[in-house]
Structure 1
Amino acid sequence: MDRELDIAEELRDEAHLKHASYQQEVARGYNKNVRIRPFNVDDLVLREVVQKSKKTKFKPNYEGPFRVIAKAGHGSYKLAEMDGTPIGNPWNATKLRKFYA
């Protein structure tokens, strides 16, 4: 019985190492394809339309332009209308696109 407990603990440790290795490999593959979108204050951006439905098939996917007024955290930005009216919640950079005038 002691031998079985030792074997079970070794198998558990081996499974833990395999799992950690797998997680690192998945993270490496994900990070290889991630495109960082840094924006500066006063940049003009378009934001993704939040509620799309099948009836709005031919409507644009992005709306704006909006002005970046501050960084709200890692990868999120506070936006304002072009007249300076701030928009309530911060937006993630994945939902924003640079606006070229």
Structure 2
Amino acid sequence: MLRHIVMWTLKRPEDAAKVKALLDSCKGLVPGMHEFDVGIKTEGLEANCDVVLVSTFESKDALAAYIPHPHHQGVVAQIREMAATRHVVDYNV
């Protein structure tokens, strides 16, 4: 299993709900995607980023199928326009 975590700081934090909706549209996009959770910063709780994606894939091959998927790439292009920073960590679980 492979965990894929991506965190974004947005140019306009008020766009967080829009980014979440875009990411949620990628849920179940490819076989081998087991978990897919998108969270946005909650007022009053500690956060260094505005949006986080925590996903789990069956294998490196499943993640490799997700990354170039045309729908995912369309979402990436839209989020790239709204993001100030992006951080990613992939690791075995």
Shorter-chain TM-score above 0.5:
no
Q: Which has the larger radius of gyration?
A: 1
Specify which structure has the bigger relative contact order, considering alpha-carbon pairs within 8 angstroms and separated by 6 or more residues.
2
TM-score under structure 2 length normalisation: 0.27
